[in-house]
Amino acid sequence: MSDGVATRVAAARKLDEVLHRGRSLKAALGATLPSLADPRDRALVEAMVLAALRQRVRYNAALDGWTPRPLGQRDGLLRALLLAGLAQLELGLPAHAALAATVDAARALGRAHQAGMVNALLRRAQRDGLPAADPAQAWPDWLARQIHADWPEQADAIFAASAQVAPLWLRVNRRWIGRDDYRALLREAGLDAASDPALADALRLDAALPVQQLPGFDSGLVSVQDGAAQAVADALAPPPGARVLDACAAPGGKAAHLAERDASLRITALDVDARRVRRMHETFARLRLEGLDVRAADAAEPDAWWDGVPFDAILIDAPCSATGIVRRQPDVLLHRRESDIAALGETQSKLLDALWPLLAPGGTLVYATCSILRAENTAQVEAFLARTPGATLAPLNDRFGQDTGAGHQRLPGEGGMDGFFCARLKKA
């Protein structure tokens, strides 16, 4: 099997797992990408899968309208291959090679008798283009209704932005190199990056590329982190020498950003998942950051891990619906259930209540999510303030998004960034 055929087969299998077998995109790709030796093949598989998931409503509409008879339940893998085939046409791959590899992939998947149909459908897509579709149709009804209720004037823009390809945001490690100097390295590599005056360590590339192609990635000069997530370090802004808790830290980007900015910070980074803690260790090692206290622990159960010494600053990047990052994790729209929101809300409340006593008087707590649902964000903060004596909302400005009255919300695509919520609380 040639490499071109193998990548199409891999993309089809991963799409089938996500679309028809309930597997998460992260798990599906994580189990396959490391097995592909060439980083270009890994990038292609990931790009096809993401594009097919983002545009599945359009692609499925085309397939359902063009196939001589409807594809059945037993044709899930074939549909997944066709979605990958349509995705690669829109990704701008050379059409002849893409079509040939996809047709050969149908044979490799035991669908030789349908290879002619695959060829005909992809050639029609190449010739006629694909029909338009309302991006809101990709959202489950209950969630689309909630978006309309929470953001009636912005709902259409949210749906549209969530179906687009996200830019690649980079965080320059100021411990080892300045942003302008790293930008020069990018230029030498033929990459043009934009900066944002509100984000001191950020650069943005309009097109994604394998991290191995980023100058100095392996030696820790740079990381991939969305601009909205990078702004969290400015919201928390711990003073030099502060004792800092990152309570839900994996994969470690925000704790690393704080450590890159100030080596004097005494940072404790927790995550309840031991596997994700191992990833944090790897991240900190790549970035050449030492001295962080990294632990596998449940932040909501401090009696099991806290030493009794208060923290000057606490970050709760809480588990959430991930509705602000659908463009990066389009399987959210397939797997999220309405009942999840109440369960996540209970977890968020528990974290706030459990960790507030660990904050020193005069300290700062930042509550953040990658959600755009008011129930997880503004309503969560309002309820916490109402039941917590001594907790007050500290002002942020519009660089963190629009003021909701109890925090700041950035919606997907605003400033090229992900949807993200951030509230800064002070302890009297």
Mean pLDDT of 54-73: 88
Helix (H), strand (E) at residue 341:
helix 338-355
| pLDDT at residue 271 in the model | 96
Q: What is the CA radius of gyration of the chain?
A: 23
Residue 370 bears catalytic tag = yes
Q: Round to whole Å and give the CA distance between 125 and 63.
A: 9
User: Does residue 204 register a pLDDT over 90?
Assistant: yes
Residue 69: pLDDT band with limits 50, 70, 90: confident
pLDDT for the residue numbered 67? 86
pLDDT of residue 212: 86
Burial of 249 (0-12, 13-18, 19+ CB in 10 A): buried
Q: Give me the DSSP letters along 184-197.
A: HHHHHTT---EEET
Q: Supply the pLDDT for residue 184.
A: 97
How far is it, in rounded angstroms, from Cα 249 to Cα 101? 41
Least confident of 56-65, 338-347, 360-369, 402-411: 56-65
Order of strands across the sheet that contains 168-172: 194-196, 199-205, 168-172, 222-224
Under DSSP, is residue 164 helix (H, G, I), strand (E, B) or coil?
coil
d(CA 254, CA 228): 11
- The Cα–Cα gap between 344 and 321 comes to 7
User: In which band, very low, low, confident or very high, does the pLDDT at 427 lie, cut at 50, 70 and 90?
Assistant: very high
- Give the largest Cα separation in the chain, rounded: 72
Q: How many CA atoms lie within 13 A of 282 on its CB side?
A: 9
Distance CA 272, CA 258 (A): 21
Which one from 248, 320, 370, 422 is the annotated catalytic residue?
Answer: 370
Q: Using one digit for the tens of pLDDT, what is the confidence trace for 327-368?
A: 999 999 999 999 999 999 999 999 999 999 999 999 999 999
Written as six digits, the tokens of 137 are: 């149709």
Helix (H) or strand (E) holding 369, with range, is: strand 359-369
pTM for this predicted structure:
0.94
Question: Which of 51-65, 69-83, 205-219, 342-356 has the highest average model confidence (pLDDT)?
Answer: 342-356
Report DSSP letters for 22-85, one per residue: ---HHHHHHHHGGG-SSHHHHHHHHHHHHHHHHTHHHHHHHHHHHSSS---GGGHHHHHHHHHH
Stretch 202-227: mean pLDDT: 94
Q: Nearest 5°: phi and psi at 402? A: -80, 145
Q: Which of 97-106, 278-287, 384-393 has the lowest mean pLDDT?
A: 97-106
Q: How far apart are CA 338 and CA 321, in angstroms?
A: 10
**In the block, residue with structure tokens 């953040």:** 368
pLDDT of 16: 95
Residue 358 CB neighbours (<10 A) = 19
- Tokens found for residue 48: 């096809």
Contact indicator for 245, 313 with CB cutoff of 8 Å: yes
> Helices 39-54 and 76-90 meet at what angle, rounded to 10?
100
* Average pLDDT along the chain: 95
Q: Is the pLDDT of residue 428 over 80?
A: yes
Would you say 238 and 258 are in contact if contact means Cβ atoms under 8 Å apart? Answer: yes
Burial class of 273 by CB neighbour count within 10 A (0 to 12, 13 to 18, 19+): exposed
Confidence of residue 93 (pLDDT cuts 50, 70, 90): confident
Q: How far apart are CA 174 and CA 193, in angstroms?
A: 17
Of 331, 328, 413, 409, nearest to 374 by C-alpha is: 409
Q: What is the pLDDT of residue 310?
A: 98
The reply to whether omega before 251 is within 30° of 0 (cis) is yes
* pLDDT tens digits, one per residue of 243-283: 999 999 999 999 999 999 999 999 999 999 999 999 999 99
Tens digit of pLDDT for each residue in 309-329?
999 999 999 999 999 999 999
**Per-residue pLDDT tens over the stretch 125-184:** 999 999 889 999 999 999 999 999 999 999 999 999 999 999 999 999 999 999 999 999
